[in-house]
Amino acid sequence: QVQLLETGGGLVQAGGSLRLSCAASGFFFSSYAMGWFRQAPGKEREFVAYISSSSTIRYYGDSVKGRFTISRDNVQNTVYLQMNSLQPEDTAVYYCARHRGGSYYYEKSYAYWGQGTQVTVFS
């Protein structure tokens, strides 16, 4: 079955960096676009980044543009999120998801989700 496992979250000081990984299994990874979302306490889940199956197309949410980079390794079946210049407002649970079609921006366009990894940024 489809499984997505996020790792790499943690506690980091403002201005620092983290790299999240999402290991995929149970499907032909290189055929699917992938996305990252995040959810802060008391807030709705928010789009962070999207990458097409061949990495030729990438989109970012406005709040992370220029600081975060999404990438993927279709041999290792893993998608990454490099997060630089982290700020306290980046504190959230981060989820990776498999795109199923439709706009990259909306949760409903993703069929499978990981369990999430917590990122906490302190000032």
Provide the pLDDT for residue 42: 94
Provide the pLDDT for residue 12: 98
- At 30, is the pLDDT very low, low, confident or very high (cuts 50, 70, 90)? very high
- At 96, is the pLDDT very low, low, confident or very high (cuts 50, 70, 90)? very high
Residues 59-63 have a mean pLDDT of 98
DSSP letter string, 22-88: EEEESS-GGGS-EEEEEE-TTS--EEEEEE-TTSS-EEE-TTTTTTEEEEEETTTTEEEEEE-S--G
Residues 71-89 have a mean pLDDT of 98
Provide the pLDDT for residue 4: 98
Token pair, residue 4, equals 């997505």
Confirm if 44 and 61 have CB atoms less than 8 A apart. Answer: no
* Cα separation, 57 vs 55, whole angstroms: 6
